[in-house]
Structure formats: structure tokens, C-alpha cells
Amino acid sequence: MKLAKMIETRLEERAQQHRDLVGRWMPYISVVESYLKEKEGKKLSEWDRSNIAQCLENALLDGAMRGRSKVFETSFQDNISFLGIQLPVIAALLPSLVLNEISIVQALDRRQGSVFYLDIKTGQKKGEVASGSTLIGSKTGHASGDGSRKYSMDEVVNENLGALGSATYTVTLDYKPVIPSTVNITTAWSIAGVDVITDNGLGVLTGTAGSTGTINYATGAVFIDGPGAETTTTAPLADYRFNYEKATALPGVAEVDVNLTNETLTARDFTLRSNYTLGSAIDLEKAHGLILEDEVVKYLGGEIKFEIDNQSRKLLNSVEVCLN
């Protein structure tokens, strides 16, 4: 209960910090919200406001560090001119990014951050699935192999028996006791070709290419005698079911390992600079009624938004590949 209370208190502190930050930048945020409501009929969510406020705060702090905390002492330094454009651009483009539509976006409060996620890995070998394989990955989704999709079931898929180059061989299946009438072993002989070997439920194995054999359901011991003096040309693969409730030895029931891992994220800059003269700004306003600085903000913001959206589309394509 103490832990729950501590988490609740910490989350409320963080929420209050975000609310305070949004309040400091509300003049910018209100203008953006009014524009979206008028032009697109949209309303900013609390998450949107928080992200905009955090990015504006980051831009201000970055400008302060570039100017060595003297950003308000002069108005002609490059970093001040750039900051004057940077803040409106951030406020203008963030709400309309396509990334907001396809994923959860959270603004960083520093140059680097970490994303923590869980990876579920197989704790032991089971059929074609090796120990330590990713079963469910936060970045890759669920493993797509048939064995992975049946890892928690009482089925074993494509267990490699590893017997090569012999006319007869004896192996032991990994999971037992084996359920009768469920064994299916596929191999190939040097002359007879592909051989599909099944059990009759009474411990007798028979192959489609003429091989014979036996299986001990309790111990998983398998003996196969190939047709004539032939040798195997491919490693036999076994599919079968087992009774996990009666397992008396390892591996028994399949296990998974839960790994908490993280990946470092580093913020990337999208920077553009515009050059114009005071005379051209006056001419544009007098002749066409346009404020040049507003137009610059619009075009720079549009270009940066295009580039960010392009990166987002690449991310979306990679996510689609993972999900497929």
C-alpha cells in the first residue's frame, strides 16, 4: 500500500510540473488552439499542450545556453533571431504532425532519454524454437514461426532429432510422456526419398517409405530402422504432443524469461535559417498586407513538418513490417 501511495504521489508531482509548464506557455498554446479550432475544428488534448510546452521550454533553454545566459541583453545576435523564429515554428507544427496520429508522442526534457520495454524470451528449447529466442518483443512483435505460436501448447513442432548418415538410429524426444497417436517424424532416405513416420498408438512406428520402429511413450525413446541399407540424407524432424501434467523430468512445461531492457534516444535537430532585409519586409507589408516574419514562420514550419512526417512514415512502414 505504501508503494502504491508513493507512485500516486510521484505521478501527481509530475502532472503538476506539466501543468505549471503549460501555464507558463499558455499564450503560445492558446493561439495554436484557436487556429486549430477555427480552421480544422480540433481541440488540443492535455497531452498535446504538454508536448508543445515542453518543446518550447527546450528551445528557450537551448537559446539561453547558446547565448551563455545573455539572450535578453541584445536583439541582434544570431541565436536570438533564430529563437524568435524557433518558438512560433514549434508551436505551429507540433499539433499537426502525422506522428501524433500513429503513435504516442512524448517530448523529451533533455537531449537524451531512454525507452524501457519488456522482451519475453524462451527459457528453454522446444521443437524448432531455440532457448533464448524472442517470443514477444516490444519492437518486433510476436515471433511468427509455427513453433513459437505453439510454445505454450502441448505440441512440439519440428524437433530436430539430429540422427544423420545411419540406416538405424535411436533418439529420445525432449518432452514426455508422449501422447499416443500424435507422433509424426519426417525424414529422407538416400534411395527411398521422403519418409513420413507415424505411430499407431501402441508404440509401433511405420514410415511411408518402408521404415519401421518403436516408441516408448513414457520415456520418449524412439528407434527407427530404415528401409534396407539406406542412410538418412536430412535430419529427422518430429512433431508430437506430450502430457505436461504428468511430466516427471525437465524440460516439462515450457518456460519464458522476462527481460526489462532499454534503448537510448537522442533528439535530432531540424534547423533552417532565413535571410531577408528590413526593406523587403516593409515592401511586402505595404504592397500585399503580409507580415514577412509570419510568412517565414509558416514556410519554415511547413518544411520541417514535411521532413518530420517523412521520418514518421518510415517509422510506420517499419512497424507494419514488424506486425506482419
| 8 A C-beta contact, residue 44 and residue 95 | yes
Among 204, 227, 248, the domain-final residue is: 248
Mean pLDDT by groups of 10 residues along the chain of 324 residues: 76 84 87 79 83 84 62 42 68 73 74 82 91 84 86 92 76 92 91 90 93 93 85 86 81 83 80 80 86 80 81 62 44
The predicted pLDDT at position 87 comes to 73
**Domain co-membership, 211 together with 284:** no
Both 106 and 193 in one domain: the answer is no
Of 229, 248, 267, which residue constitutes the final position of a domain?
248
- The pLDDT score that the predictor gives to residue 164 is 62
Contact 86, 271 (CB under 8 A): no
Question: Rounded to whole angstroms, how far apart are CA atoms 230 and 232?
Answer: 7
pLDDT at 163: 67
pTM: 0.56
Given this model, what pLDDT does residue 241 score?
94
Per-residue pLDDT at 215: 95
Is 6 contained in some domain? no
Number of domains in the chain: 2
Cα→Cα distances 281→285, 287, 288, Å? 6, 10, 10
Rounded Cα distance between 176 and 268, Å, is 54
Q: How far apart are CA 272 and CA 307, in angstroms?
A: 12
Query: What is the pLDDT, as a whole number, of residue 323?
Result: 44
CATH number, residue 150: 2.60.320
| pLDDT given for residue 156 in this prediction | 94
E strand segments, the chain: 112-122, 134-137, 141-142, 155-160, 168-172, 184-189, 193-199, 204-207, 212-215, 221-225, 232-241, 256-266
**Structural domain of 20:** 15-111+280-323
